[in-house]
């Protein structure tokens, strides 16, 4: 058994999550598959968009595909760009802000 989903079929215009603001496009792959137990998302941040600083209840992985941003984890800020992977652990706090001229595109995975 398999499920195939494409960006164009699931794209949703949304504000930055966790009160981050700005304009993003969210792609929640396989959200309607029952019993999956894994979240796999893609998000494209337009200039100035962000994920608001928030407490993380579970381990979460961010992977940058395109663009530039500044991520803050437990009060420490650092630049992220293509090829950067960040693991945020349960109980930490973090946020992410798009910087630069092109969209910041990330993959997000957690249970």
- CATH 2.60.120.10 correct for 7-110: yes
User: Residue 18: its pLDDT value, please?
Assistant: 95
Q: Tell me how far apart the alpha carbons of residues 17 and 80 are, in angstroms, rounded to a whole number.
A: 18
**20 beta partners:** none
Residue with tokens 């304009």: 23
User: Residue 1: its pLDDT value, please?
Assistant: 86
Helices of type H across 18-74: none
pTM metric for this prediction: 0.94
User: Residue 48: its pLDDT value, please?
Assistant: 94
- In a structure prediction context, what are the per-residue pLDDT tens digits for the chain, which is 111 residues long? 899 999 999 999 999 999 999 999 999 999 999 999 999 999 999 999 999 999 999 999 999 999 999 999 999 999 999 999 999 999 999 999 999 999 999 999 999
The four Cα atoms 28, 31, 35, 37 give a dihedral, to 10 degrees, of: 20
């Amino acid at each position: 058994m398999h499920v195939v989903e494409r960006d164009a079929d699931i794209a949703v215009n949304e504000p930055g999550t966790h009160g981050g603001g700005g304009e993003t496009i969210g792609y929640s792959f396989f959200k309607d598959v029952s019993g999956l137990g894994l979240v796999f998302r893609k998000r494209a941040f337009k200039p100035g968009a962000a994920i608001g600083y928030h407490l993380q209840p579970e381990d979460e992985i961010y992977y940058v595909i395109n663009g530039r941003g500044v991520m803050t984890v437990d009060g420490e800020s650092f630049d992220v760009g293509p090829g950067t992977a960040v693991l945020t652990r349960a109980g930490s706090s973090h946020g992410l802000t798009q910087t630069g001229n092109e969209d910041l595109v990330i993959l997000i995975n957690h249970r």
